[in-house]
Amino acid sequence: GENVEQHPSTLSVQEGDSAVIKCTYSDSASNYFPWYKQELGKRPQLIIDIRSNVGEKKDQRIAVTLNKTAKHFSLHITETQPEDSAVYFCAASIRGNQFYFGTGTSLTVIP
């Protein structure tokens, strides 16, 4: 099956700096790559996603890039704010049936 690896497991940045989280996947059949934000005690919520026919997608301060050849995708958060502090998960989906998640990155934005 698919194997998704996520790095780093923890990340601390100063407010206003950028944060980058990277994921790799193993199955070239994966074609949908969502990113979720999970605050403590809450449910995961989708923040951005990208499909395999697109190389980059941006939504305000958040962007995702995908390199199909290298089988990796990254989340970029610019101008970080304290409310960005949370655990972020990447995932890969094959045909939309099954989702495989990374192990999460705990992001702390220091005011």
Partner 1 sequence: NAGVTQTPKFRVLKTGQSMTLLCAQDMNHEYMYWYRQDPGMGLRLIHYSVGEGTTAKGEVPDGYNVSRLKKQNFLLGLESAAPSQTSVYFCASSSLAGGVNEQYFGPGTRLTVT
Q: Which of 22, 32, 57, 62 binds partner 1 (CB under 8 A)?
A: 32
Q: Which of 56, 82, 103, 110 binds partner 1 (CB under 8 A)?
A: 103
Using CB under 8 A as the binding rule, whether residue 49 contacts partner 1 is answered as yes
Q: Which of residues 62-91 bind partner 1 (CB under 8 A)?
A: 89, 91
Residues 6+ apart with CB under 8 A from 17: 80
Tell whether residue 94 is a contact of partner 1 (CB under 8 A): no
What is the distance between the alpha carbons of residues 14 and 91, in angstroms, rounded to a whole number? 26
Q: Is 96 left (phi over 0), alpha (psi -120 to 50) or beta?
A: left
The distance of closest approach from Cβ of residue 20 to partner 1 in the complex, given in angstroms and rounded to an integer, is 19
| Contact status, residue 13 vs residue 107, Cβ threshold 8 Å | yes
**Residue 98 found at the interface with partner 1 (CB under 8 A):** yes
Instruction: Give the residue ranges of DSSP H helices in 1-111.
Output: none
Stretch of 11-19, 43-51, 54-62, 66-74 lying at the interface with partner 1 (CB under 8 A)? 43-51
Other C-beta atoms closer than 10 Å to the C-beta of 22 total: 17
Site residues, partner 1 (CB under 8 A): 1, 6, 9, 32, 34, 42-46, 49, 89, 91, 93, 96-104
